[in-house]
């Protein structure tokens, strides 16, 4: 009896799914045929698809790892430097400012790891993002946290921020951290890093 019920239920649900798929297909066909500019897509080979995406994807994709600091500003190293055209760099000569090459909307994620010292104290952690237009740096974003440090707490702490930013060509980005002497640079694969990906040409 139970097997028969299960079989009937399976047939009913399969029928409902097929009906919904048929309705969705019909609606999509009607919609596509009425919208101006919509055309049927012919089958293309894989090489043509790869070529199409190769021309559309921006070269603005960066993964930078912090390896030091100077005046509380993180000093960066380009993790993908070996895969870039020779001489192409997003970093200034001090490696503290990230220089944007293309105008557009960018997704930016920053993570900073700290090593806390167990000394029964309160530590205020800060992450400040500065954006510079025409050599005039301004505070763009900030993240902060207060950690009470003792023998029972974890020796590690983390601050991160996710930003959606519109930047001009030659805009510059820099990250300040406090206290900078507690920043962890050694963890694998990445302890303190920033990723920058161009999302669109405009809002």
Q: Domain ranges in the chain?
A: 2-41, 58-200
pLDDT mean over 121-127: 92
Residue 34 has what pLDDT?
Answer: 47
Q: Is 203 exposed, middle or buried (0-12, 13-18, 19+ CB in 10 A)?
A: exposed
Helix (H, G, I), strand (E, B) or coil at 164: strand
pLDDT mean over 68-94: 84
Confidence label for 134 from pLDDT (cuts 50, 70 and 90)? confident
Residue 126 β-bridge partners? 144, 178
User: Which residues, including other chains, have CB under 8 Å from residue 75's CB and lie 6 or more apart?
Assistant: 66, 67, 68, 69, 94, 95, 96
How far is Cα 152 from Cα 80, in angstroms, rounded to an integer?
39
How far is Cα 101 from Cα 171, in angstroms, rounded to an integer?
8
Residue 21 has what pLDDT?
Answer: 64
158 sits in which H/E element: strand 156-167
The dotted CATH code for 58-200 is 2.60.120.40
How far is Cα 201 from Cα 167, in angstroms, rounded to an integer?
10
Residue 153 has what pLDDT?
Answer: 74
How far is Cα 127 from Cα 69, in angstroms, rounded to an integer?
13
Report the length, in residues, of the chain.
203
pLDDT for 147-195, tens place per residue?
888 777 778 899 999 999 999 988 999 999 999 999 999 877 778 999 9
Let me know: does 98 contact 172? Beta carbons within 8 Å.
Answer: yes
pLDDT for 24-62, tens place per residue?
565 555 444 444 444 443 444 555 545 444 444 456 789
Residue 198 has what pLDDT?
Answer: 93
Q: What is the mean pLDDT of the chain?
A: 78
How far is Cα 31 from Cα 132, in angstroms, rounded to an integer?
47
Q: Within 13 A of 24's CA, how many CA atoms are on the CB side?
A: 6
How far is Cα 88 from Cα 98, in angstroms, rounded to an integer?
13
């Amino acid at each position: 009896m139970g097997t028969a019920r299960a079989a009937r239920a399976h047939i009913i649900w399969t029928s409902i799914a097929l009906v919904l798929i048929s309705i969705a297909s019909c609606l999509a066909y009607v919609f596509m045929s009425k919208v101006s500019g919509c055309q049927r897509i012919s089958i293309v080979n894989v090489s043509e698809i790869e070529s199409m995406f190769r021309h559309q994807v921006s070269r603005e994709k960066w993964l930078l790892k912090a390896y030091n600091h100077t005046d509380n500003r993180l000093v960066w190293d380009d993790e993908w430097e070996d895969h870039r055209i020779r001489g192409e760099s997003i970093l200034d000569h001090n490696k503290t400012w990230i220089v944007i090459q293309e105008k557009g909307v960018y997704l930016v994620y920053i993570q900073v790891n700290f090593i806390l010292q167990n000394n029964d104290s309160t530590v205020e952690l800060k992450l400040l993002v500065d954006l510079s237009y025409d050599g005039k740096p301004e505070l763009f974003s900030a993240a902060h946290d207060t950690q009470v440090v003792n023998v029972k707490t974890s020796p590690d702490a983390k601050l991160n921020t996710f930003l959606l930013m519109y930047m001009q060509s030659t805009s510059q980005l820099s990250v300040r951290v406090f206290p900078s002497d507690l920043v962890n640079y050694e963890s694998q694969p990445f302890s303190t890093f920033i990723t920058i990906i161009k999302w669109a040409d405009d809002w």
